[in-house]
Amino acid sequence: MGRLEGKSVIITGAGSGIGRAATLLFATEGARLIAVDRSDGVNETVSEVKKAGGRAEAVMADAGSEKDVIAFIDRALKAYGKLDAIWANAGISGGLVPLAEQTVEHWQEILRVNLIGAFLAVKHSIPHMTRQGFGSIVCTASVAGLKAGASGHPYAASKAGVISLVQTTAYSLSGTGIRINAVCPGLIETGMTKPVFDRAKERGTTDKIGQLNPLKRAGQPHEIAAMGLFLASDEASYVNGQAFPVDGGLTASMPYTGKPV
């Protein structure tokens, strides 16, 4: 028996990176999946699941659109008869220009996808999970939402908002049997962070990637997926309202240079 055997799960942002790794991992643990992404990469993800003998359906949708969110949650209910867990993982980056040069429109788009998208996943999952008396909601935040220096302003603000959403929602759902938690990735090698890795390769500084964390390396999508699996599973039955950094130890310390005394 897998850790998610027979559970109905939705994962957004499943077309690549963390979302793809999570979809593949959850499938090996017995989950029946609705994989969501606005890119056609989600079809490749689902193809991989099916080749491995898992069960999943691909949905091309915008995680920041309320109409789309309602539709893919309904898809899970029709396909599997229930909704045990949802991982609001879809996100976009940006804002890596001086604050005075950032536009309102850019802020609005990042907040729409990263924060409003998570809110919509929570809002429209709650009624179904409440009727069941159980459910797990996982949101992808970021270490950028915990401390400064990890990203541009709008991305950091959106992820700080996700963390607050998780904390406040945990209390809003008191007594329902629904748990909600956030995963806060550090520097993970995905399509979103590809420019960072490409620049390092061009400069010959790949050995410096991840140098600020005690493990001295970047993370991989499957390492974030593993934390999400725990939070979605019954093993995390007493874990609620928390934001977990998965960052090689980056946020364990105040900034320092060299070895700490």
| Residue 215, both tokens | 């493990």
| Residue 149, both tokens | 């220096």
Annotated catalytic, 171?
A: no
| Residue 201, both tokens | 């390769």
| Options 155, 171, 238, 256, the catalytic residue | 155
| Residue 195, both tokens | 């420019």
Burial environment of residue 74 by CB neighbours within 10 A (0 to 12, 13 to 18, 19 or more): middle
Q: Can you list the alpha helix ranges (DSSP code H) found in the chain? A: 17-28, 41-51, 66-80, 104-111, 117-132, 153-172, 194-203, 221-232
Neighbouring-strand partners of residue 181:
138
Known catalytic residues are 155
